Amino acid sequence: MIDYTEKIPNNVDLGRDRVLQRALEHWQPAFMGWWADMGPNESQNYEVYLRTAMSVEPDGWAKFGYVRMPEYRWGIFLQPRDANREVNFGTHKGTPAWQDVPGEYRSMLRRIIVTQGDTEPASVEQQRMLGMCCPSLYDLRNIFQVNVEEGRHLWAMVYLLHRYFGRDGREEAEALLERRSGDADNPRILGAFNEPTPDWLAFYMFTFFTDRDGKFQLCALAESGFDPLARTCRFMLTEEAHHMFVGESGITRILKRTCEVTKEHKLENSAAVRAMGVIDLETMQKYLNFHFSVTIDLFGSDASSNAASYYTTGLKGRYEETKIEDDHMLADAEYPVYEVSSGKIVTKNVPALTALNERLRDDYITEIQGGVNRWNKVMEDAGVPFRLTLPHKGFHRAIGNFAGHYISPEGEVMTKDAWESKQYDWMPSPADHAFVQSLMTGRVVELGKFANWIAPPVRGINQQPLNFEYVRFN
């Protein structure tokens, strides 16, 4: 169980390590200052119907109740230790999982933890203004839930930095609160976390696509031979599932509303759909193309010596590593990757150890396609012929073998001029962004009411009705 009698809730017996406890209690006011400055705008006194972790067990792990977000019980929660756990891959395969950082891997592990930790506050910063134009109390509550749990995930990474990396870790923990999403001088580490999230369509796309990248990265780290990191990530995955649900269901509800209006009024083009105050399906496709492409860049280069090192040393595994039937060493294995050669996209086999980023990206794309299929079922059931599609993985890429090339959504290699002449056919234009934002000029906070451009959800949170007071504006 989690000890909520402590100033910092935890299940790691923090009270036994007074030096570490004092260091984290020193960091805590800095975190609260960051939350006041960069957390959800003008929300400090709202009472929000939030879930709070009470246990790390899969059943009954959370309770719901009204909480002011600055009073949310952020803390440090790891899944229980398995004393028999072993390293499952790499050169240390079969040896006991490490409870302390191996000295020779200290720098690599710190880099992994800092990069993961930096994404957590970044997404809060990206979304901080969206509460001012929420489509319902239900949605407002959901974005606040996502925000406080991203804050808790930051705490999880900061604990590891403080506990296992000494002064270097403390300095890195401070830097996590100093960087800012989109800041020209001190930006977040990964590109997608410096992109603006200017509207709720972008938010739903972000939580579907980019939070799902987070899931796959956490799954790979949950295989780590460094046991405290693995245990931390396993519990984070429990919370991450709701974030992805918010994204997928949000897009589903927008599609449903657009289809309802299209059928009811027999609309035949996007201009007519927009005139009814809902989001046209062509714009949905453009947002999908953008968010998919910037998210798959997060997986890194197609062939990466760093990825090979992380695997060989046992620091970061593959998605569902223990379910894969191979030797978990990959010394002689190969994996296919794409590259552009003589104006065409070709496939070549490379050592599987160097292609681990690409394999994780492919696993991710497979799962993403399942979500797109579910979205298309909404339109199929409504009798609307439009279908959403994922663009080619080379489209709009800034990292890896496709960086510097101009690939169409269909996978055609183009010249720069030809690609740029069509980019707003494929991705949101300034006019598209302006239209979507025009639908979100104020917030809908009347009980049980929803903005015109989005359908209500099928059910409420924690079996509450849709007209429940999910947020109290005190």
**pLDDT, tens digit, 9 for 90 and up, residues 308-367:** 999 999 999 999 999 999 999 999 999 999 999 999 999 999 999 999 999 999 999 999
Q: Which residues contact 84 (CB under 8 A, 6 or more apart)?
A: none
> Count of residues for the chain?
474
C-alpha angle 293-296-300 in degrees, rounded to nearest 5: 130
pTM of the entire predicted model: 0.96
Hey, which residues does 336 pair with through a beta bridge?
349
Please give the structure tokens belonging to residue 226: 């460094």
- Please report which helix (H) or strand (E) contains residue 81, including its range: none
State the Cα–Cα distance between residues 214 and 237, nearest whole angstrom. 9
- Please report which helix (H) or strand (E) contains residue 472, including its range: strand 471-472
- 54: exposed, middle or buried (Cβ count in 10 Å: 0-12, 13-18, 19+): middle
- CB-based contact 165:106 (threshold 8 Å): yes
Q: What is the model's pLDDT at position 382?
A: 97
Q: What is the model's pLDDT at position 160?
A: 97
State the Cα–Cα distance between residues 246 and 203, nearest whole angstrom. 9
Q: What are phi and psi of 427, to 5 degrees?
A: -130, 160
Q: For 155, what's the count of Cα atoms within 13 Å in the CB-facing half-sphere?
A: 28
- 351: exposed, middle or buried (Cβ count in 10 Å: 0-12, 13-18, 19+): middle
DSSP letter string, 196-250: ---SHHHHHHHHHHHHHHHHHHHHHHTT-SBHHHHHHHHHHHHHHHHHHHHHHHH
Q: Where are the alpha helices (DSSP H) in 297-446?
A: 305-312, 356-382, 416-426, 430-438
Residue type for position 195: E
Q: What is the pLDDT of residues 249-268, one digit of tens each?
A: 999 999 999 999 999 999 99
Hey, which residues does 62 pair with through a beta bridge?
53
First to last CA, the chain: 32
Hey, which residues does 63 pair with through a beta bridge?
52
C-alpha angle 305-218-129 in degrees, rounded to nearest 5: 110
Q: What is the model's pLDDT at position 62?
A: 83
Helix, strand, coil shares of the chain, percent, nearest 5, are: 50, 10, 40
Residues in the chain with pLDDT values less than 70: 1-5, 58-60
The SS3 call for residue 259 is helix
Q: What are the structural domains, with CATH classification, of the chain?
A: 14-472 (1.10.620.20)
- CB-based contact 449:442 (threshold 8 Å): no
Q: What is the model's pLDDT at position 325?
A: 95
Q: What is the DSSP letter of 76?
A: B
Q: Which of 204, 69, 199 is nearest to 147 (CA)?
A: 69
- CB-based contact 78:9 (threshold 8 Å): no
Q: What is the DSSP letter of 470?
A: -
Q: Which residues contact 334 (CB under 8 A, 6 or more apart)?
A: 349, 350, 351, 352, 355
Please give the structure tokens belonging to residue 253: 């509800």
State the Cα–Cα distance between residues 131 and 144, nearest whole angstrom. 8
Q: Where are the alpha helices (DSSP H) in 39-136?
A: 106-126
Q: What is the model's pLDDT at position 8?
A: 83
Hey, which residues does 50 pair with through a beta bridge?
65
State the Cα–Cα distance between residues 53 and 74, nearest whole angstrom. 9
Q: Which residue has the tokens 């290699």?
A: 413
- 460: exposed, middle or buried (Cβ count in 10 Å: 0-12, 13-18, 19+): middle
